[in-house]
Every structure is written in C-alpha cells, then in structure tokens.
Structure 1
C-alpha cells in the first residue's frame, strides 16, 4: 500500500513540474491598437494537436501555459480581419509580442454556426443541439449525453465525477438544490446552452477570496422571459394503469416559478424530485434533507439491482411548488417559497433462502423466508428563504418545516431446518415525525475585513410504534404466553434538539484570506421506549427479569465549543483552502433506572486541506487530506431491551463505553478537460484509515441480542482508485466514455469469540456511448462489469467472489418523418460459485409526433417477455442468500406528451 501511495505521489508531482512553460505578451494591429478576443494557441511542430490556448483580453494581453517535451513549439495567432501569424519559439518562459497586419475577409456566404463546446475562463458552454437526438424531449434526456457530465439514477448531476454545488436557470437558483423537477421537465427546445461554471463560489462577496473546487450548472434559455413546461397523460393495463405529469414553468427577469403535479402507478419514483441534490457551501448556512429516525422497522422484502420501474408497485401522488421573486429594485434581495406533498403506497414481495455457515457452536442451518410488504408514505414540507447575495454583503435565512405520517406493514412466513422453527406473523409500524429547522448566515464587510455569523437550530420529534402478532413469532422463551391472540408492542419516542452557532472574521492580503472562527455546537436527544407483551389487557414478563429492563429513558447530550483558523489562497494557477479546528468534545449519556452513566471529555485537532494546481490550460491536479473524530450517538448507549425489528430484540450493555472513532483520509486527483478537441478525463486515488476503540461482541440468547463492546483498537482500512475518459466525436456524432474503479476495504471483526479480518475488493468497469450519426436511427448504450471478492479468516468459506454484468440499450428508428420506433433492453446478470442468473427485460414503443402542435402520441409495451421474478445469489460474511423478488408484469401504455408552450 505504501508503494502505491509513493508511486502515485511521484506521478502527481512529476505531472506538475515536467517541462511546464509560460509565454505571455501583447497583440496589436499595425497602428499599435490592442486587439481583443484574438486566439493564441501552442502546437508541436508537424502535429495537428493544440497543447494550450488563450484569448486576449481588452488590452490585447495574453498568457498561455503549456507542457511539451519538444525543444521548439509553434505559436499561432488568429483574429478577425487580421492576417494569421505563426512563429516557432523555444520551449522556455518568455514574452512574445505581435503586430498583426490587417486583411479584409471576403465572405461569400454567411452561415450561422455555433461551436459545440466553447470555453471562456472558468465557464464551459455546451450547445444543446449538438448532442440531442430526435427522440429527446427534455433537458435530462440531453444532459446524459454531454461529455464530462453524468446524471446518476437519483438525479444527481456530476461534472468530471463530482457533484455540482448549484443549478441555475438564467443565473437564478430557484430550486435551492432540488433541481430534479426542472431537469426532468424542462423542454429541450427552450434551452439555448448548458454552462458549466468551474470552481464556482456561489457567495459573491467571497469570490476571489475563498475558492471552491466544485462546479455549478447554469441553464441559459433562448429567451430572457420564458413560459414553458412539460406535460404527459397516459393510461394503460393490466391492471388499470395511469401516469400523469403536469409541470408548467415560468422564468422571468424578476421572478421564476415551477408548479408540479405527478401521479402514477407504473413504477416511477417522481416523489424523489424534491430531494436536495446540491448543497452550496457552508457560508450559505446549513442545508439538509429532513428525514425520519427509522429506529423501528418491519421486516422488509428485498429489492433487485434493476431500474426502479421494473419492480416498484406504487400508487403515488406528488405535488410541489417553487417560487422566486426579487423584492428590491437592485435585484439583490430574493424571496423563495418552496412546498411539496407526497402520498404514496408501495407493495413489495420477496422470497429468500439463506444458508448459514456452521460454527463451533452451531450447525449449518437453512432458513426459508417469504415477506409481503405494504409501505405508506404521507409527508409534507414547506420552506421559506430570504437571500441577499451581493458584492457588498450576504444574508440568507432558511426556515423549513416537515411532517410525516408514515406507516409500514408486513406479513412474514418463516421456517428453517431447525426443529419447531416454523412461524408466521403480521407486523405493523406507525411513525409520525415533526421536524423544524432554521438556518441563518450573514456576511458583513467591515473596513477591509468580513464578519460572518452562522446559526442553525433544529428540533425533531419521532414517535414510533411497532406491533407483532402473535407475540410468539419472536420465539423468546419465558417472555410471551403461548397464544395466537396476544401481540408484542414496542413504543419509542425521540426528541432531538440541535443548535450550531459560530462567528468568524476574514481578512485578505496578496491573494491570501485568513478566517479565524469560534463556535459552539450542541445536541441533545431524549429516548423513551417500552416493550410489552399484551394478552387480554395484561403485560406478561419473565419472573426473573425486572420490567425496567424492557424500557429506556435515556438522555444523550453533546456539547462542543471550538476554535479554528481557515486559510485560503487563489491566483491564476493555484487554489488552496484549509481549516485547522480545535474541538472540545463533551459527551454524556444518562439513564439512572438502567444504570447508564457515562461520559467523554476530549480535545481533538481535526485539520483539513485541499490544494489544486491548474497548468497547461487544460490540466488540473489536486491533493486533499483531513482528520476527523466522531463519537457515539444515542443508538450506541441505550441498555433496555428494544425490538427494533421483529427479527430480534437488541440491547446495549450498560457498561459499554462511549465509542471514539478517529478517521484519517487523503486523496489526489488529476483532471483534463479540453473543449477544443472535446476530450475530458480524470484519475482519482483515495486512502482512509478509520481507527475505532471498540469492537462489537454480540451475544445471541434465544431470539434476542445483547450488544457488548470490547475495548480494543481496531481499524477499517479503505483504498480505491478510479479513472474515467470521455470524448465527443463530431464527425460521427458520437459521445463515448469508459470508466474503471477498484476499491478495497479491510476490517477487523469479532465473531464466535474470535477475531478475524475481513477483506472486500470490488472492481467495476463501465462503457457509455450514444450516436446520432444516421438521420434514421439513434443509439444510447450503457454497460457495466463488476467483480467482488471477499476473503475472511475464521469462517467456513474463506474465499468468495461474485461477478455482475448490467447493460441498457436504447435504440430508436425514424423510418418516416414524425414517426419513431423505440426498443429498450435492460440486462442484469449475476454469478457466484456455480450459481448463474440472467435477467433480461425488453420494451417496445411507437410514437407519432404532431409537429405543428408539438404533441407526441406514444404507445408502449413494457416487459414484453412478461418476466415476473428477479433472481440473484449473494455471499456474505456468515451466509449465502438466494433471493427471488416479485416484479412488475407485462403492461401496455398509451400516452400523450406535450409542451405547455
């Protein structure tokens, strides 16, 4: 491992230093007048490849940095109405000025032609028409085909493998990170171009002071005032199916809004469009996706590694509204109001055959289990945001409220090769949650300095009740009276209050910005729970166990005052930001009735640093490293028995100390993006060491588990590297990319009274391309190959491997104008030992377009083969699993699709 790190560091620094030269100068006309917007390129003699380029500024000045092993290079200058120049220069740092001769250009024919990819400074612009096909309708359809950009299955947009930090439309951030609705519903015809803003600092007062390594996306529309949107209405069978999508949008200079209503029972997860996918940066305050603390759960049926539309049995209604308006004449202050509501019902079913390995204490066992689920989601969220983002000050206050009324159901049939093990039960969870957050951040200039105050307050209550009938399903001797009428009830309430407050002052000098900060973080959680067995209105417990053992009343608090110094630097080539915090961690857990009383008081130093170097116009190299510490939460401290799932009852030993984990990580990255030849690639390496002071030592006692921890230092070591190369071939109208990743994790475990090391290695390779070369056909293809290998000491199966292959083919034919025939093929194959499973799915569609009205009429047949189950095989630390999962049957849909304008 040390050899790999050393080799990678050597490559990294050699890439920075090898033959890097800078040429600068000034370009004027015959009269000595500066020529702006002239292009300056560096090329190796005899080769048609651009090493680096630059554009002259308004003063005619240029500066270009390049790397070459040649002794001489060609410097070429071009400008409109000027005679082009070429001069061979030495491969060295130098200043070269040019005086260009005027030359009138005779234009015989005028053609307006936009370049597919252009770059100016840190902004890369993509002409959307260069990448779309006749079958594309929305921004998301085209975004997936742009070189350097990826769209994950959850909707997250990546640039060069990293998530973006902002998503703008005409320069405004309407969606505040929840950009899925616009990406999926904005018609492509309304978009002029997609802009990538590299190294984007969203807070204007911090630009050129506090750098950023993340990129943002700006969607530039054709018109400054645009009324648009997308709609679909579909019906089908069998059984009765519906799919309705109505998303009108308005984008003006002063205000923007999006209204969205979507409902379907065809397996589309439209309710996730409101998730926050881009979080900005810490100076904007804290942004979170509010979620429940899911402590209590019914047993869940498995889900397959397939597109969600193949297996999701849903009935969903999702409505959302987003509004932005400027509230002052200077257009510095913005008011944003966002709200959404989800009502969703999901059915799921799976069968599992589990082979549990033999140990010194127990024989090999086979468990058969069938689970049928109903999940009900009912949630609402509202958000109000006031923002001022100007060069002379920043203010942002975000208030959000979320309410959940969720419920889950399960019917489980279970038996095994052990005697008297056959059982079945009904399970139900009710889980209402209320959540409130307020985040405030303001930056005020003070002479030559900046004062920043941040405040975050959160309060959340979770009330959950889990019931299992009959109670004997849990098979805990002595706790339940044998009867089919009784049931076990687990009730739980969590109250969580969190407050984070800080203040810092920033001052800049010669490109450096220093930001000393003080702050105080506080979090308090109260857990109250009770487990009971009810029979005819009575509670039955074993005579030798006190009732208090089945309850919890735990208070867990964390108070962390801290001080830190932030250091930032930025110039034309370097970007550095670092933080050096010292934290005083004070943690306490108290539950007197169960003899829980423990605390930790520890000072930690948790530095982080990032450095990026830009060279030779197209290259970026970066390194990063950080150290952080985390301590246990309330779920590591309770000692009363709790039925978190009907699969067993758990408790923590009261004498367990509070966990203390120290995490160290480092990484490096080399990135290349060349808009001139449409080539993008990146290489990444990362290493981490998580040191833990405790190791779990579970004790299983006839149906319930007591979780004890041994005080023993142990590690989880992770390392991984990845690479991705993407290129657009204009001549063939093809965008292609390949990727590879290799990740290894080693962890210390304790099982069956012995220590052992578990090692997992996962490798994956991916291929993606799309082609629109032929006017009568277009192709979209994605494929991935994966291999995982697991090696464990101290168990029967010491080595195990699993291979997987998935691909998706989208093929569209255009035999006649306005007619489209589509074919889609999803394939998922898995193999392990002598088990092989092939799962293929096929769809066929026909679409007629009423061109004058821009309306599509689509008839689609999904899952032609009517494949009803998905089968797969997995190998774990202590078992193997064969899984069969219920899928959506064959179905036919007729859909009308249209734009609102």
Structure 2
C-alpha cells in the first residue's frame, strides 16, 4: 500500500512540475486602448484541441497557464471587431503583449444565444432553460438532466458522484443541509440558473487558506425577492387514496422562509425530505442526523429493490418550517430556526423460503424454512433547531442547538413452518412481537474563528445527551424455544426484554492557524469525552406478574471514553494544487465495567491516525485527487455486554471477550474531466481498504434460533473498487447521456458453527439518458445491470448471480397543454439458473391550464395489478438459497391538481 501511495504522490508532483508554464500580457487595439473580453487560447500545434483558455479583463490583461510536453504551442486571440491573432510560441514562462488591428463587421441579423454551461474559476453555471422538458415542474426535475449532477428521491444532490456540502438559494443557506424540501418543491420557472461551486469552502475566513474537497450548489432565482412554492391535492381509489402537498416559500434579501406540509397514503415517503443531506465541513461545528439506538428489534418483512412508491403501504403526515432572518444591522449575522413533526404508519408483509443444502454449517442435514411476516411501524418524531451564524471574511461564529424526540412503536405477527429433523414432519410456529421505543436527544455545537494578529484562533465545543428506552414483548414465550434452544422460555405466556441507555458526549478543542505564503498550519489540542450506561433484563410472565430470568440475562454496564488528542493540520493552496493533511495523535483511555459481575477491562493506547487529500488541476479541464488515511477502532458503546439480550426474538446475544482493536487503512485516487465548452464530464476512481480485527462474531444454533458471542481470532478483510463514469450533453439533439461501470473485489470472514471465508467479485453497469429533441416527445430512461461471483473459500464453492433493472418515463405532447405519460419499471434476478422478473406499468394524462399554471392529472398505477414482488439470492457460505416474496401496492387510480404559489 505504501508503494501505491508513493506512486500517486509521485505522479501528482511530476504533473505539478509540468504545470507551471504561464503566458501573460496585455491586449490593446490600434489606438492603444485596452481590449476587454478577448479570448486567449493555447492549443497543440497542428491540432484544434484547446489545452487552456483565458479572457482578458477590463484593463486588457490576460494570464493563461497550461501543461504541455511539446517545445512550442499555438496561441490564438479573438475579440469582437478585431482581427484574430495567431502565433506559435515557445513552451516557457513569458510575457507577451499584443496590439490588434480593427476589423469592423457589418451584421445584418443578430441572434443572441445563452451558453447552457459556462465556467469561471471554480464556478460552473448551468442555464436551466437549456435542459428542461415540458413535463418538468420543479428544480429537482431539471437537475436530473444536467451532466455531472445526480438527484436522489429524497432530493439529495450528487456532483461527480459525491454529495454537495451546501445548498444555497440566492447565496443564503436557509435549509442548513435539509434542502430536500426546497429541491423537490421549488418551481423551475422561478429559477434563472444553477451554479456549482467546486472545491467550496463555506467558511469565508478560511477561503484561500483551507481547501475543500466538496462542491456546493447555489440556486439563483429570477427575482431577488420571490414568493413562490408548489402545491398538490389528490384523491384516488382502490383503496381510498389521498395526497396533499403544500409548500409555500419566500426568498428575500434579508429574510427567507419555507413552510411545508405533506401527507399521503399513496406510497410516498415525504418525511425523508427533513433528513440532513449536506453537512458543511468540520469548521462549522459538529452536526449530524440524530437517530435512536436500536438495542432491540422485532422480525421485519423485507423491502424490495424497486421504487418505493411500488410497495410502501403508508399513512404519513409531515410538517416542517424553516426561517432565516438577519436580526441586526450587520448583515453578517443570521438567525435560523426550524421545526418539524412526523406522524407515520407503515404496513409491510412478506414470505421467505430458505432452502439449506446438506453440509451447511447452519443446518447440517439440510432443510426448508418458511416464514411469513406482517409488520406495523408507527413513528412519532419531532425536531427543533436554532442556529446563530456570523460568516464573514473577518470572523466566523456558529452555534447550533438541536432537540429530537421519538415515540415509536413496532409490532410483528410471524408464522413459521420449520422441519422436524429425522422425520417428514414440520412444526407450525406462530408468535406476536411488540416493541415500544421512546428516545430523546439534545445537542449543542459551537464553533468560532477569530483573527488574532496574523493568525486565526478557533474554539469548538460540542455536547450531547441521549436517552433511549426499549421494551420488547414476545408472545408466547415458547416461540423462542421452537427448536429447543431455550426451554425455560416455554414456561411463560409472554417474554419481556427491557433495555435502556444513557449517553453523554462532550468534544472540546482549540487551535491556532497561521499562514506562510500559500501554506496554512493549524496546531490543535482537544479533549473528547463519552460516558455511557446500559441496563437490561429479561423476564417472563403468566398473566400480569413478571419473573426475572436472573443475572445471566441482566446488564448494568458502563462504557466510558476519555480521549485527549493533539494534531497539526497542514494546508497548501495555489491556483492549481490543493493539499490538506491532518496528523492527529490520539490518546485512547477506554474503560468497560459490569456492575453486576464486578468485571472490568481497559484500553490505553496512543496512536497516530493521519489522513490527507490532495487535488491538482491541470490541462485546463482535468483534476486529479488522492486520498489516504489510517484509523483505529477500539470498540464503542454496545461493543460489550456480558448479560444475554434478545436483540430480536430469534437472536440471543452476548458480547464479551477482550477489548476489540481494529485497524482500518484506505487509499484512493480520482481523475476528473469537466469541460463546459463541449458539455463533457467524466471521472475514473480507484479505492483500496483493509480492516484488521482481533475479534470475530461467532454464531451458533440453527436457521431459526441463533446465539452470538465474540471469539478471539485475528482476521483481515479487504476491498478494492475501480469505477468510471462519463456524461455528455448533446445540444444538437437535446440529449443528456451517461455511462458508469464499477468493479469491486472483497473478502470477509464469518463464524457460524465454523470459520468461513468468502470472496466476492461484483460488477455494475449503468446507462441513462434523457431526450427533449422532439416537440411532441420527451424521454427519460436508465438501466442498471449487475453481476457477482461469490466464493466460499473454505469449501471451494463458487456461485454466480446476475440481475438488471430499468426505468422508463416517456411523455407525449399530442396537442398544446395536453400530456400523456407512460412509465415502465422492471427488475430481473437470476441465481443458479433460477430467474424471477417483476414488471410494473403506469399511465397518466395531464391537462395544463396555462394561464393559471395549474395541472390536472389522472394517473393509473400498476396497470397489471401485480400484487407480489419476487427475488432470489444465494449464500455460498451457508449453502442457502432464499426466495423472498413481498406484498406490494395493488392497481390504483389517482386524480391530482398541481399548482404553483405566486
């Protein structure tokens, strides 16, 4: 790995050495006056291939930097009403001034065209009008068609395959990472252009000092003060369906707000729009998506690999409100407040048939297990957040206070058919499961950066407190003893597993940054604290009185971490080369204590966990990245507990041995090409990761009841991934197309009654395009194909599988304001000569009242009335073939009215 890393850096430094040729000067006209906006291009001799370009400023000055191995290059200058200049020059740093001759041209007809993609510095600007189709209504609809950009169902945006770190509207970050609501509901007609801010450093005082590896996105509206938004109201049948979306928005120069209410029972998970999709960077403080600790679970039905609207049986109400204001005279200070509430009920059911071959480590004699699951998930969740920010060139301040509350319930009804080994008989086992899981989370994050003489002083503080309580009821108790592994449970009508935990975390740090030329050095001291407590017990009841199972099924544990650290950040930023290194020395002091059993373990280690990334721009449109890092994992809260816990009704677990010690190392590189002149984007990636572990999870039991424990066994897993993606927009044909391919090779170890090593090789291929060439037709299509080979290295068995799925959306415009839509989703899986196909078709008709900008839509979903999704998989490690059948939504018809707020 060291040799590979040295190769990458040697490559980058060699490129950097060749990327220093700069030609600069001044361009004037025949009267000696400066010529602004003249284009200066550098080309290979004898070829019409642009290596670099520049535009002269108002003073007529230009500067162009390029990379070339040749002795000479061609320089061309073009300017309006001036004769072009061509000159073959030496490939060396030099200053060249030019005086142009006038060449006035009589223009009989002028037709102005706006370039659909333009680039200036690190900003790429997209003209939205150039990419939209007649069927598009929101910003997200159009972004999906832009080369280099991807949009997921929750509204999250990827640029060159990586998540954006900021989503601005008119330069303001109202949503603070939860931008899915705006992306999915902002009318496209309100947007003038979209800007991608490459290498975006959101903290202004750190710009030109600390580089960033992520891009930001800025949505520029047509008006500086805009009242807009999107709404939908729909009704349907078979069964009774409804859908309401109301999202008014206001974007002003001092104030912005978005109010969002969405509710439906037609299979759309609108509550995901409230998730954090972008996280800024570490200098803004610590902020992440809060969630519950899942100590206990019921058995759950599977979800199929098809669009969620096909299978989600929901009844959801989601409300959110976001406000941004500048309360002080200084516009640098902003106050942001947000609140949300989710009430959601989901039904899900499936049937799973597991066939074990003779010789399986799980079921040595082989057998068929059949399980039917029916679930109800009830979610009640609230969130409130207050953010105070000052983001200026002379200082930065940000304090974020967040509170989350959850009151969730889940139940399951399970029917199993289990073989009785040695006979031709089967057991029919049924059980009911109920889980209640309330939680509360409080977080506060503070970060401030102040100039101190020639230095930057940064203080960061983060505290959080979380409390989780979970209660799992299993009826009857004999359910967990179906194969005789837990005979004591059969004495009770009900088993109750309780688990509760409390966690307090505090992270504090102080650093001083100082610059020397293009270098910035940031020494830092910090202290990370984490104090955690877990309590659990198992009890059985006949009637209302519960009896504890004893100390073997009880926990009263503490897991505490005190981690002081020191690190030095080194950053280099020039016009083309960015380098960022963090060299932290962490002192881990981790203790585990069991108050019931008086057991105690401790880890004390000082380790170096460096990480770095570097980027280099060369040959105008190319960029190469390099990544490397090393980190240790000495376990976390939940890694250890000696008392046994039913983490699910079929899994009894204890986790106790010695303290874990994992070492993770990774390297990677990425080559990007982004050329707005010919609308071409591509990237090639490579990544390698290893994880060395001292412990392995040991499963024992059969396919229905299993017990997990930890055993001491050193093992190393690794994975290697190569991928490539290319996308291009063809203006002549109004088509955006992209191809992607990836290959992953990995190995892993598992212990289910015996040690097993598996090796997996996976390939994925994807193609997508959209076309709006014809005035009467627009098409969106994508297809994904996959192949895999799984090898049980312990038994030298290889199993191959494959699959593909595609999605087609075609819109026909027979006459003005009328739209007919056809939609086709299909998924195919193939394992060991067994094949399953699932196809779904929809049809829609939409009439647009153009004057009022109101759409009236009738949509027929799942025309074939397919009610079950089927797929197959095979595990060569367990010699297991699984066939899964999931209940999906039946055929249904919806009538919807869609409109914009003005």
User: What's the TM-score, normalizing by structure 1?
Assistant: 0.96
Change (3 A) 1:850 1:539: closer
Whether the 8 Å contact between 1:359 and 1:752 is mirrored in structure 2 is no
Q: Which residue is equivalent to 1:118?
A: 118
Q: Which residue is equivalent to 1:779?
A: 779
Q: Which residue is equivalent to 1:209?
A: 209
Cα distance in structure 1, aligned partners of 2:642 and 2:725: 48
Q: In the TM superposition, what whole-angstrom CA distance separates every residue of 1:240-270 from its partner, at most 9, and x where no partner exists?
A: 0011110000000000000000001111110
Deviation (angstroms), 1:611? 1.1
Change (3 A) 1:359 1:839: closer
Q: Is structure 2 residue 732 aligned with structure 1 residue 731? A: yes
Q: Is structure 2 residue 436 aligned with structure 1 residue 436? A: no
Q: Which residue is equivalent to 2:461?
A: 455
Whether the 8 Å contact between 1:392 and 1:444 is mirrored in structure 2 is yes
Q: How does 1:741-760 map to 2 (within 5 A)?
A: 741-753=742-754, 755-760=755-760
Cα distance in structure 2, aligned partners of 1:113 and 1:42: 25
Deviation (angstroms), 1:616? 1.4
Cα distance in structure 2, aligned partners of 1:776 and 1:5: 53
Whether the 8 Å contact between 1:480 and 1:540 is mirrored in structure 2 is no
Cα distance in structure 2, aligned partners of 1:750 and 1:275: 36
Change (3 A) 1:478 1:771: closer
Most deviating of 592-601 and 142-151: 592-601
Q: Which residue is equivalent to 1:617?
A: 620
Whether the 8 Å contact between 1:849 and 1:857 is mirrored in structure 2 is yes
Q: Which residue is equivalent to 2:520?
A: 513
Q: How does 1:627-666 map to 2 (within 5 A)?
A: 627-653=630-656, 656-666=657-667
Whether the 8 Å contact between 1:306 and 1:828 is mirrored in structure 2 is yes
SS where residue 189 of structure 1 aligns? helix
Q: Which residue is equivalent to 2:404?
A: 402
Deviation (angstroms), 1:124? 0.5
Whether the 8 Å contact between 2:759 and 2:793 is mirrored in structure 1 is no
Cα distance in structure 2, aligned partners of 1:433 and 1:676: 53
SS where residue 642 of structure 2 aligns? coil
Cα distance in structure 1, aligned partners of 2:525 and 2:103: 63
Q: Which residue is equivalent to 2:25?
A: 25
Whether the 8 Å contact between 1:549 and 1:594 is mirrored in structure 2 is no
Aligned residues, how many?
892
Q: Which residue is equivalent to 2:307?
A: 307
Deviation (angstroms), 1:609? 1.1
Most deviating of 831-840 and 627-636: 627-636
Q: In the TM superposition, what whole-angstrom CA distance separates every residue of 1:525-580 from its partner, at most 9, and x where no partner exists?
A: 10011111111344457xxxx71111110011111000000001101111011100
Cα distance in structure 2, aligned partners of 1:115 and 1:478: 72
Q: Which residue is equivalent to 1:370?
A: 372
Q: Is structure 2 residue 474 aligned with structure 1 residue 468? A: yes
SS where residue 641 of structure 1 aligns? strand
Most deviating of 280-289 and 361-370: 361-370
Cα distance in structure 2, aligned partners of 1:477 and 1:161: 48
Q: How does 1:469-868 map to 2 (within 5 A)?
A: 469-475=475-481, 479-480=487-488, 482=490, 486-539=493-546, 547-653=550-656, 656-700=657-701, 705-753=706-754, 755-795=755-795, 798-868=797-867
Cα distance in structure 1, aligned partners of 2:2 and 2:760: 19
Whether the 8 Å contact between 2:179 and 2:273 is mirrored in structure 1 is yes
Whether the 8 Å contact between 2:418 and 2:429 is mirrored in structure 1 is no
Most deviating of 734-743 and 7-16: 7-16
Whether the 8 Å contact between 2:515 and 2:521 is mirrored in structure 1 is yes
Deviation (angstroms), 1:421? 3.5
Cα distance in structure 1, aligned partners of 2:94 and 2:79: 22
Q: How does 1:187-202 map to 2 (within 5 A)?
A: 187-202=187-202
Whether the 8 Å contact between 1:20 and 1:616 is mirrored in structure 2 is no
SS where residue 503 of structure 2 aligns? strand
Whether the 8 Å contact between 2:298 and 2:411 is mirrored in structure 1 is yes
Q: In the TM superposition, what whole-angstrom CA distance separates every residue of 1:102-136 from its partner, at most 9, and x where no partner exists?
A: 34454433434211001111110000000000000
Cα distance in structure 2, aligned partners of 1:540 and 1:380: 36
Cα distance in structure 2, aligned partners of 1:513 and 1:880: 57
SS where residue 582 of structure 2 aligns? strand
Cα distance in structure 2, aligned partners of 1:517 and 1:33: 52
Cα distance in structure 2, aligned partners of 1:481 and 1:558: 37
SS where residue 629 of structure 1 aligns? strand
SS where residue 272 of structure 2 aligns? helix
Cα distance in structure 2, aligned partners of 1:663 and 1:478: 38
Unaligned runs of 5+ in 2: none
Deviation (angstroms), 1:89? 2.7
Cα distance in structure 2, aligned partners of 1:407 and 1:263: 20
Q: Which residue is equivalent to 2:127?
A: 127
Change (3 A) 1:78 1:481: closer
Q: CA RMSD in A?
A: 2.1
Change (3 A) 1:208 1:563: same
Cα distance in structure 2, aligned partners of 1:824 and 1:11: 47
Q: In the TM superposition, what whole-angstrom CA distance separates every residue of 1:128-157 from its partner, at most 9, and x where no partner exists?
A: 000000000000000000011111344321
Cα distance in structure 2, aligned partners of 1:160 and 1:167: 16
Deviation (angstroms), 1:72? 4.5
Whether the 8 Å contact between 1:479 and 1:540 is mirrored in structure 2 is no
Cα distance in structure 2, aligned partners of 1:776 and 1:390: 50
Cα distance in structure 1, aligned partners of 2:832 and 2:20: 52
Q: In the TM superposition, what whole-angstrom CA distance separates every residue of 1:370-389 from its partner, at most 9, and x where no partner exists?
A: 00000001100000000000
Q: Which residue is equivalent to 1:152?
A: 152
SS where residue 35 of structure 1 aligns? coil
Cα distance in structure 2, aligned partners of 1:467 and 1:563: 47
User: What's the TM-score, normalizing by structure 2?
Assistant: 0.96
SS where residue 549 of structure 1 aligns? helix
Q: In the TM superposition, what whole-angstrom CA distance separates every residue of 1:450-485 from its partner, at most 9, and x where no partner exists?
A: 1100001000000100001111000156654646x7
SS where residue 520 of structure 1 aligns? strand
Whether the 8 Å contact between 1:275 and 1:289 is mirrored in structure 2 is yes
Whether the 8 Å contact between 2:725 and 2:739 is mirrored in structure 1 is yes
Cα distance in structure 2, aligned partners of 1:739 and 1:315: 36
